[in-house]
Amino acid sequence: MVRIYKCSFCSKDMPVGTGLMYVKNDGTVLRFCSSKCRKNMLELNRIPRHFKWSKPKVATK
């Protein structure tokens, strides 16, 4: 079964083998679909819910 990951910034679906996986020092794994998402989150410290092009994160119970 093929696994589908979601971008950590814009929540876009990405198949395995695409995008960028970023691992922080504390072991947290962030997956990004593009350099646009990576730069907005890591370098510019932007919040995804402030942008129309990114889907808001849905709280799960």
Q: In terms of C-beta density within 10 A (0-12 exposed, 13-18 middle, 19 or more buried), how is residue 6 classed?
A: middle
The pLDDT confidence band at residue 57, using thresholds 50, 70 and 90, is: low
| pLDDT tens-place string over residues 17-53 | 888 999 999 999 999 988 988 998 888 888 877 777 7
CB 12: neighbour CB atoms within 10 A?
16
Q: Distance between CA 51 and CA 58 in Å, rounded?
A: 15
Q: Which domains does the chain have, with CATH numbers?
A: 4-49 (2.30.170.20)
Predicted model pTM: 0.74
